[in-house]
Amino acid sequence: MIKMLALAFWAAAIAVLAGNAASHWQAAKASPQKAAAEHVYEYKKSKVINVPIIGDGALLGYVLVQFLYGLDAKAEHNGLSPDAVLMDETFRTLYGDPRLDFRHLEKYDVDGLTKKLAAAMNARLGEGAVKDVLIQDFSYMPKNETPR
């Protein structure tokens, strides 16, 4: 009889310890997911940005570009509008880039452009505010095709 009672207590103790170990293991496993869930990114589409291209002192045409960017929904953004920052950084980057040649556009580093824009936006809005910048539309309109 004593052996049966000792066996029952032993089995109950093993069950309690196994349940406790499993719950601690699950809690430790869920912690990285909880940290990743702290940054909830929502994707927003920017307005179409028109950047004039000037060559030899004359207007050659316009770059028309639209982005999709992942923005941290909970971030403060340092009181700045993310759309305004993206528009400013895009204009500065494309207008001031002497390598942007629309006769040989296939050689332009589009991946570098999106990474540079994301880094510049994070510098101005706060680290981690923008996850990534994706190109929605990127085209060129020569001056003679612009509507008057």
What confidence tens digit (pLDDT) does each residue in 36-48 have? 556 678 888 999 9
- Indicate whether 75 and 63 sit together in one domain: yes
Pick the closest to residue 108 from 119, 118, 93 (CA basis): 93
User: Count of domains in the chain?
Assistant: 2
- Indicate whether 4 and 64 sit together in one domain: no
21-25, 32-36, 67-71: lowest mean pLDDT where?
A: 32-36
**Does the pLDDT value for residue 35 go beyond 70?**
no
- Indicate whether 11 and 77 sit together in one domain: no
- Indicate whether 71 and 115 sit together in one domain: yes
- Indicate whether 33 and 48 sit together in one domain: no
Query: What pLDDT was estimated at residue 81?
Result: 84
- Indicate whether 33 and 54 sit together in one domain: no
The string of DSSP codes covering 78-142 is GG--HHHHHHHHHHHHHHT-TT--TTSGGGS-HHHHHHHHHHHHHHHH-TTSEEEEEEEEEEEEE
Structural domain of residue 23, as residue ranges? 1-38
